[in-house]
Structure 1
Amino acid sequence: MAGHSKWANIQHRKGRQDKARGKLFSKLSKEITIAAKIGGPDPDMNPRLRLAVANAKGQSMPKDNIQRAIDKATGNDVEAYEEIRYEGFGPGGIGIIVEVSTDNRNRAASEVRTAFSKNGGNLGETGAVAFMFDQVGEIRYSEEVADEEAMFEAAIEAGAEDVTYEEGDEDEGEPGERIVYCARDDLAEVAGNLQAALGDAKSVNIIWKPQTLTPVEADKTDSVIKLLEVLDDLDDVQNVYANADFPED
């Protein structure tokens, strides 16, 4: 999955920048607030909030920030967020899914549509792309937690379906990640089993995983990456998924 890894590595490189770090914390805070608003402020009684808090901790988000995000959900001035999925195509016909949490549907739709149209893509109808992806559970651990064999054994015993590896950034001294996939409905159980065996994961999420990857021609690589970056930078956007298979550097 070279393409997926390249996009993920681009996101990680952006994540090392202070501005992007703030953007990441903003997204994590929004998810915590939404989860607490929907299911209550107690992580022990709210699985979505428990997951959001775990992911925030995995990204080294300060405890005070996490608590403020939870407390915000109990205030009278908290925004009423709507969760929307947009689907479209990028340069070369790659499929893209954009998950949005917004307090203004019209603004979000306009910004997502503009991002596609100005960067060589086009926004499609609901269902135009989703059939090319599967919703699955994804659990990420640093490769330093366990070697390939130990991770595979732990994952299978935990009830997972597959384990892959994503290279880190050697230039920055960042280790790679071992990625565990499981059925969406089994995520909580598998994540809990892995936590008992290996400790806290870096992230635990339900994601859109491409069934197959669409090769990106070399001359379209920069255009595709630009579109994905522009979408990811929108304030209302929480997640961006693509089935792009980028050529090796």
Structure 2
Amino acid sequence: MAGHSKFKNIMHRKGAQDKKRSAMFSKLSREITVAAKMGLPDPDMNPRLRLAVNAAKAQSMPKDNIQRAIDKAAAAGGEDYEEIRYEGYGPGGIALIVEALTDNRNRTATNVRTAFSKNGGNLGASGAVSHGFDRMGLITYPASAGDEEKVLEAAMEAGAEDIESTEDGHDIWTSMEDLHAVAGALEKTLGEAESVKLAWRPQVKVDVAEADAQSLFKLIDALDDDDDVQTVWGNYEVSDAVMEKLG
């Protein structure tokens, strides 16, 4: 399984689900506000806002919360968030890309650096690892959308570039430019996607040794727990045998 999919599994097995849900809604709201402020406050006219709203809906975020986040963009005196990308290495040399939205660059940089250093990682300079990833569109469907053959046929007809299927679901990859068109075509054949977003896809995946896996998961959890961090991407792959040992 790819890094981002494994990351979802980590989130699911963590406790305090209500707290996690609240934190997730906060991050989704921040992205919606930033997207609305950068363009028109209409999802139909603002591709980035449409992605943000769809992501929020996929997590069952209430419509009122979504609308408040959009309205916040036009409010006088609202927060101004800056987009920052951090790059570094986790345990075992795993490459990680951390995307953040922050109103305090110094605070976020300190928190991210601390998370790396306390969990066996090293924060690198801009561009340290992103050259090993491709910026692409990612459309995710649950396993219930159909078997691999059905989803593959639909994805190819829609103009997707690649598909990865596991027992957990289907990851459909597109170029950045084709993301919305492919997502729209797939919705007609497979229904509404679980998520539609821009992603960092590793060019080469690295198997994580059992000795490094737990530390890596702790690092990713520490980053995810930071309010400013929106997404963590990695080039790691963890075998089922290692996951079973970690419980």
TM-score by length of 2: 0.93
Alpha-carbon distance, 1:203 to partner? 0.5
Of 162, 177, 181, which aligns to 1:185?
177
Q: Distance in 1 between matches of 2:73 and 2:225?
A: 24
Q: Is the 8 A contact 2:94 2:234 kept in 1?
A: yes
Please give the alpha-carbon distance, in whole angstroms, between the structure 2 residues aligned to 1:25 and 1:64: 12
Task: Give the residue type in structure 2 aligned to 1:212.
Answer: V
Matching of residues 82-97 of structure 1 within 5 Å: 82-97=82-97
Deviation by residue 1:93-152 (Cα, 9 ceiling, x = unmatched): 110000010011111111111111111111001111001111111001112122221111
Task: Report the Cα distance in structure 1 between the residues aligned to 2:41 and 2:107, rounded to whole angstroms.
Answer: 29
Q: In structure 2, what is the equivalent of residue 48 of structure 1? A: 48
Task: Name the structure 1 match of 2:117.
Answer: 117
SS at match of 2:44: helix
Deviation track 1:49-87 (CA, whole Å, cap 9, x = no partner) reads 111111111111111111111111110121111101000
* Amino acid paired to 1:154: A
State which of 189, 201, 204 in structure 2 corresponds to 1:212. Answer: 204
Distance 1:165 1:114, change over 3 A: same
- The separation in 2 between residues aligned to 1:152 and 1:233, in whole angstroms, is 35
Cα displacement string for residues 30-62 of structure 1 (whole angstroms, at most 9, x for unaligned residues): 111111111121111111111111111111111
Are the aligned partners of 2:2 and 2:235 in contact in 1 as well (CA < 8 Å)? Answer: no
TM-score by length of 1: 0.92
Residue in structure 1 matched with residue 102 of structure 2 by the alignment:
102
> In structure 2, the residue corresponding to 1:54 is in which secondary structure?
helix
Matches within 5 A, 1:30-69: 30-69=30-69
The answer for the alignment partner of 1:11 in structure 2 is 11
Quote the offset at 1:16 in angstroms: 8.0
Q: Which amino acid aligns with 1:85?
A: R
Q: Name structure 2 gaps, 5 residues minimum.
A: none
Partners of 2:16 and 2:37 in 1: CA distance: 30
Q: Which amino acid aligns with 2:204?
A: T
Amino acid at match of 2:132: M
State which drifts further: 40-49 or 14-23.
14-23
RMSD: 1.6
Q: Which residue of 1 aligns with 2:223?
A: 231
Q: Which position in structure 2 is the counterpart of 1:199? A: 191
- Partners of 2:197 and 2:15 lie apart in 1 by 18
Match of 2:239, SS state, is coil
What is the CA distance between 1:215 and its match in structure 2? 2.0
Deviation at 1:14, TM superposition (A): 3.8
Q: Is the 8 A contact 2:28 2:52 kept in 1?
A: yes
Determine what percentage of the aligned residue pairs are the same residue: 59
Change (3 A) 1:45 1:142: same
How many equivalent residue pairs?
Answer: 241
Aligned to 2:79: 79
Rounded to whole Å, the distance in 1 between the matches of 2:3 and 2:140 is 18
How many angstroms apart in 2 are the aligned matches of 1:5 and 1:53? 21
CA contact (8 A) 1:218 1:247 kept: no
Matched to 1:199, the amino acid is G
Whole-Å separation in 1 of the counterparts to 2:197 and 2:140: 9
Separation in structure 2 between the aligned mates of residue 60 and residue 166 of structure 1, nearest angstrom? 24
